[in-house]
Amino acid sequence: MDHLLPVQLVELQSIATDLAENRIAPLAAEVDAECRWPADSMQALAEAGLLGLQVPVELGGRGQGLLGLCVLTESIARACPSSALCYGMHCVATAVIAAKATEHQREHYLREIAAGRHITTLALSEQGTGAHFYLPETRLDADGDEFVIDGTKQFVTNGGHADSYVVSTVAADAEAGDFSCLIVDKDGAGMHWLDAWDGFGMRGNSSRPLRLEQVRVPARNLLGEPGDQVWYVFEVVAPFFLMAMAGTYLGIAQAALDEAGLHLHSRRYSHSGESLRDVETLQVRYGELWTDLVKTRALVREAARRGDAAHPEALPYILACKTEAAETAVRLANEAMSICGGAAYRDNSRVSRLLRDARAGHVMTPTTGLLKLWTGRSLLGLPLL
Ligand SMILES: Cc1cc2nc3c(=O)[nH]c(=O)nc-3n(C[C@H](O)[C@H](O)[C@H](O)COP(=O)(O)OP(=O)(O)OC[C@H]3O[C@@H](n4cnc5c(N)ncnc54)[C@H](O)[C@@H]3O)c2cc1C
């Protein structure tokens, strides 16, 4: 436990760590091998009252911000990165709903989420615009007190399992760059799930394409005002997404360090009786890996604290921290693969799963390429886009 965190967050971290060790970790290998959406993990998180992490306290939630999100996703990812990704995307979509929720959205969605009865998720990315997730091409047309949605989303985490989807769309008459987000309930007429997920890593996250054909959504499911979504992207989606992912990749890095440490402690040669722990070069390497991890964690939490405090210089920290966490996760998982030797390479070991899972960090948008560009631009006083 990290006792330097606020007391309430230490309690939440303790609940999440207990669940991660006892209910989530035992199923992580199966989730990966079978490409199985981690229903048991989500159920455990719901029963512990953690689905409402981002829901205001007055609606029965935990009222946490960015710091809470990166701390909890780290605890979960240390046990099962796919579970952390599914939980993280639920939390990001919850934060998007909560940002400007109407009375109906508060009662119908946020209270249900806080009660552990509703899972939501983000459906923003599309094949056409790829990494440029803030440019949806999915069409939105008004029709009386309903909207009609047409388009195809790609990589929808929790796809086919969530109760609702936060979908980005563009109206026919929208100004360039304007778009609108709506909550789309599951199983609506015209919603078609395409290919099943069979990813290189994050194999439990059920990231699937969703075709929306003339899907009708009540007008009251619009989030905010039509066209004020650029505000959502940079004030809510980006910070919450980046923190959820930074926490997830920190958890992977920590798990890789755990595995390396276990091997260094347990491996002993029969010919010399020497333990790997006694080899000086490995002692140096292990120390360097630990230092990488704690430096990255310090950056991630500094970014979260600045974001929660609406600090005027929060932006470059928030942009940089997910890139740093992804790089640290890949580096540590890669190093753990060497330190743990053939035993880690042989089977579909935990280290090999961590290495595959870590690689998602660079390609999930905002991708590492875009984030590095945006960090520099924000520091130079240039607009991000
Ligand atoms: C495991 C997983 C889960 C996901 N979950 C979700 C989800 O829940 N919801 C959702 O909406 N999306 C989700 N995504 C989608 C993810 O965000 C996409 O991978 C992303 O949109 C990238 O799209 P693309 O594959 O078409 O990449 P491309 O657009 O083809 O990009 C390829 C590469 O080019 C780089 N690039 C492109 N333009 C620039 C530029 N101007 N400057 C520098 N570099 C550039 C990118 O950084 C990237 O590295 C998920 C993806 C994965 C892998």
Query: Which ligand 1 atom sits closest to the C-alpha of 89?
Result: 8
d(CA 297, ligand 1 centre) in Å:
24
Q: Tens of pLDDT along 246-301?
A: 999 999 999 999 999 999 999 999 999 999 999 999 999 999 999 999 999 999 99
Q: What is the pLDDT of residue 152?
A: 98
pLDDT interval class at 174 (50, 70, 90)? confident
Which residue, judged by its Cα, is nearest atom 35 of ligand 1?
Answer: 369
- Does residue 138 register a pLDDT over 90? yes
- Does residue 175 register a pLDDT over 80? no
For 365, left (φ over 0), alpha (ψ -120 to 50), or beta? beta
> What residues have CB less than 8 Å from 281, skipping those under 6 apart?
none
- Does residue 178 register a pLDDT over 80? no
Which of 327, 364, 370, when mutated, tests ligand 1's pocket best, judged by the most ligand atoms within 8 Å of its CB?
Answer: 364
- Does residue 228 register a pLDDT over 90? no
pLDDT interval class at 226 (50, 70, 90)? confident
Report helix, strand or coil for 234: helix
Q: Tens of pLDDT along 28-63?
A: 999 999 999 999 999 999 999 999 999 999 999 999
The number of C-alpha atoms within 13 Å of 344 and in the hemisphere containing its C-beta is 23
Tell me if the pTM is above 0.95: yes
Provide the 10 A C-beta neighbour count for residue 343.
Answer: 11
Write down the mean pLDDT value for the chain: 96
Cβ(124) – ligand 1 distance below 6 Å: yes
Cα 303 to Cα 110: distance, rounded to the nearest angstrom:
26
